[in-house]
Amino acid sequence: MMNRALAWLQRLESALLALLLFAMIALAAYQVFARNLFDTGFTWGDGFVRVAVLWVTVIGAMVASRSDDHIRMDVLARYFSTGTLVLVRRATALFTALVSFGVAWSSIGFVQFEREDGTLAFGAVPAWWCEVILPVGFAVIGLRYLLRAFVLSAEQVLDDEGDQGGSYSDLDGDGVDADGDRAP
Amino acid sequence: MMLLGTLAILAFAFLGAPLFAVVLAAAMLGFYASEIDLAVIGIELYRLTSTPLLVALPLFTFSGYLLSESNTSKRLVDVMQSLVGWLPSGLALVGFVACAVFTALTGASGVTIVALGALLLPALVRSGYSERFGLGLVTASGSLGLLLAPSVPLILYGIVAQQLDVGEPFTIQDLFVAGILPALLMIVLLTLYSLWLHRGGAIPRVAFAWSNLGRALWAARWELPLPFFVLGGIYGGFFAVSEAAAMTALYVLVVEVFLYREISVRRLPSVMVDSMVMVGGILLILGAALAFTNYLVDAEVPQRLFEFTKEHIESPITFLILLNILLLVLGAVLDIFSALVIMVPLLLPMAVGYGIHPVHLGIIFLANMQIGYFTPPIGMNLFIASYRFKKPILELYAACLPFMLVLLVALLIITYVPALSLGPVEWLRGD
């Protein structure tokens, strides 16, 4: 049940990321043509693109927290023994989870306020629809780090080592990255 | 309480907690101590939507991912080789220029070393360069080109600095113009070093052939318009930076997926997702840093920091020396994006206080970061090269050292001759 929900969430995140990026490219490019050739364009286009950037940011960050791919300062990790490293990773995961829940909680207040206020973001779209990604996103990030702190096995915690920043860690192009993880 | 909280957050930062959480925790602690409602965190993060320019970052990053997933690197090296390979030290020059162009387009994420190094290193050794020289070249050049448009760190510096609204106002285009001569200076000095090292005809020269040039240009025919199109569009005033980013993304998408067909339509979504995860990580830290900066400004931290340094450091020259040392260390410890969004809000007000132009500071900052990428012991590119070329890390330290010294000379010139960065900007503005 839990695994099915997680798989469903992962597909949704990926689909949203690709869709939003595609919409950003298409809309921004259309605006250039429309403005230069016909002197027109969607008045809501700019507002949509800006909100899309926020959504891409939060959803991208949600995906990065699946395997703890966030940017961090990693000066001490190479000096720890394996056992200590697992403990350190669990502790920092708990810290991250608490901070994320704090942000999620505080942005619920913000979204609620804007909803009562009836602010519009662009066109006829209420601002709180755009902002709702903040509490949702940070709650998901918090949950993923909570899992990392308490539920994931030591192997799983260490498995995500070294592929920080993710994408270019497959250095020799054989589909296996520096620490032996196979690309999904 | 405040002290204890600060110490705990710093401890988590050094233990390797994600930086977005570290910076958000710091902001929350700060707001809490100033008795400001924590709902402000949500408002601050939502400020990411108030910068129209920001969309340039995901779009240029996506273009960079597409270019690095296709055979652009090979075509780029072929074109450069047939163009300047016949000169003395020609292949070294090919390496410097190709790496600079590729890094400007893809960001200095290590992909330059992986994609171009694999082509250049064997070619250099075959042409008579020593392996040590080749290793140093590909590792040190992995971050060359950060100062050239449309590099993502350069745009990010512009966005962060403009948010702060201190010093003379400037545009992203000004930054793009300011980076040109410093980047050329680095390439020229590196080439002179290679010429000096291989003086007396140690490396056999290859003849220039029109047929090679023709073949290379034909192979790269779809990608050749790209630089002119991006740069011409921006410098010529046809598009704003964010529009140029959209046109670039669209153009690269069509070229790599439908004309070269090196990325299948089926693989496209995964490239899109990968690039957006990278962007999400960077922009989340930016959003957190915006919140934290706002707290710092409220608490007058940059101002107090400036007053403190002003008491101990009188001359801008001393300030610049210390700044360079600080940034070199930072460049080796922090990744470039976090360093930008966390340090620029602290450093820019100080630098402006010493009379340094924000555009000049940006160029100094990135030039330092560029060297930090391969500064021993922990510059990221050293590890990437060590892994990619299966060489011990100590060998890479030794190989990179001469290149580092050359680039430090360039850095000193860039730092102490502001006209190198600012001259062309003023000239283009007509004053």
> Which of the 8 DSSP states describes residue B53?
G
B54 touches B283 (CB < 8 A): yes
Is 90 exceeded by the pLDDT of residue B330? no
In this complex, the residue of A56, A88, A173 whose CB is nearest that of residue B58 is A56
Q: What is the pLDDT of residues B125-177, one digit of tens each?
A: 988 899 999 999 999 998 999 999 889 999 999 999 998 888 889 998 899 99
Residue written as token pair 């590729």: B102
Q: Which of B24, B28, B45, B252 to mutate to test the interface with A (most CBs of A within 10 A)?
A: B45
Is 80 exceeded by the pLDDT of residue B201? no
pLDDT at A162: 55
Cα–Cα distance, B55 to A27 (Å, whole number): 12
- A111 touching chain B per CB within 8 A: yes
Q: Which residues of A touch B42 (CB under 8 A)?
A: 103, 106-111, 131, 134-135
The whole-number average pLDDT for the span B50-67 is 90
Residue written as token pair 């918090």: A142
The whole-number average pLDDT for the span B259-281 is 92
B39 touches A113 (CB < 8 A): yes
Our measurement of the distance from residue B238's CA atom to the centroid of its chain's CA atoms, rounded to an integer in Å, reads 25
B171 touches B396 (CB < 8 A): no
Judged by CB atoms closer than 8 Å, whether chains meet at A53 and B55 is answered as yes
Q: What is the 3-state secondary structure (H, E, C) of B241-263?
A: HHHHHHHHHHHHHHHHHHHCCCC
Give B399's contacts (C-beta < 8 A, 6+ positions apart).
B132, B133, B135, B136, B139
Give B25's contacts (C-beta < 8 A, 6+ positions apart).
A95, A99, B9, B12
> How many CA within 13 A on the CB side of residue B30?
21
Residue/partner pairs of B386-394 with CB below 8 Å, 24 or more apart: B387/A171, B387/A178, B388/A171, B388/A172, B388/B113, B388/B114, B388/B117, B388/B118, B389/B117, B389/B121, B389/B135, B389/B138, B391/B135
Is 80 exceeded by the pLDDT of residue B61? yes
Per-residue confidence of chain A (184 residues) as pLDDT tens digits?
778 888 999 999 999 999 999 999 999 888 888 877 887 778 788 889 999 999 999 999 999 999 898 888 877 777 888 889 999 999 999 999 999 999 999 999 889 988 898 888 888 889 889 999 999 999 999 999 999 999 888 888 887 775 444 333 344 444 434 333 333 3
In chain B, % of residues over pLDDT 70:
99
Q: How many CB atoms lie under 10 A from the CB of residue A51? A: 22
User: What are the CA-CA distances from residue B211 to residues B120, B207, B215, B216, B217 (Å)?
Assistant: 21, 11, 6, 9, 10
Least confident of A127-136, A162-171, B99-108, B186-195: A162-171
Judged by CB atoms closer than 8 Å, whether chains meet at A52 and B19 is answered as no
pLDDT at A178: 38
pLDDT classification of B91: cutoffs 50, 70, 90: very high
Backbone angles phi, psi at B254, to 5 degrees: -65, -45
Q: How many CB atoms lie under 10 A from the CB of residue B134? A: 24
pLDDT at B431: 60
> How many CA within 13 A on the CB side of residue A129?
10
Least confident of B182-186, B205-209, B370-374, B381-385: B205-209
Q: How many CB atoms lie under 10 A from the CB of residue A45? A: 17
Q: Which residues of A touch B277 (CB under 8 A)?
A: 17, 60, 63-64, 69, 166-167
Q: What is the pLDDT of residues B219-244, one digit of tens each?
A: 999 998 888 777 777 777 777 888 88
Q: Is the dihedral of CA B153, B336, B159, A40 positive or negative?
A: positive
Separation in Å, CA of A153 to nearest CA in chain B: 19
The pTM is what? 0.89
Judged by CB atoms closer than 8 Å, whether chains meet at A111 and B48 is answered as no
pLDDT at B262: 92
Is 50 exceeded by the pLDDT of residue B249? yes
- A23 touching chain B per CB within 8 A: no
Give B415's contacts (C-beta < 8 A, 6+ positions apart).
B320, B324, B364, B367
- A84 touching chain B per CB within 8 A: no
Q: Decide: helix, strand or coil at residue A126.
A: strand
Q: Which of A11, A44, A57 to mutate to test the interface with B (most CBs of B within 10 A)?
A: A57
B348 touches B161 (CB < 8 A): yes
Q: What is the pLDDT of residues B285-329, one digit of tens each?
A: 999 998 998 888 888 888 888 888 888 888 888 999 999 999 988
Best CA proximity match to B422, nearest among B240, B145, B159, B182: B182
Q: Which residues of B touch A73 (CB under 8 A)?
A: 13-14, 16, 19, 333-334, 338
In this complex, the residue of A18, A108, A171 whose CB is nearest that of residue B272 is A18
Cα–Cα distance, B73 to B97 (Å, whole number): 12
pLDDT at A180: 36
Residue written as token pair 């662009």: A122
Least confident of A96-100, B10-14, B203-207, B216-220: B203-207
The token duo for B380 is: 């990221």
Upstream peptide bond of A126 is cis (omega within 30 degrees of 0): no
The token duo for B30 is: 């700060």
- B406 touching chain A per CB within 8 A: no
Is 90 exceeded by the pLDDT of residue B109? no
The whole-number average pLDDT for the span B35-62 is 90
Best CA proximity match to A159, nearest among A146, A141, A178: A178
**Residue of chain B whose alpha carbon sits nearest to that of A100:** B21
* CA angle, B139 then B101 then B194, to 5°: 50
The whole-number average pLDDT for the span B24-41 is 91
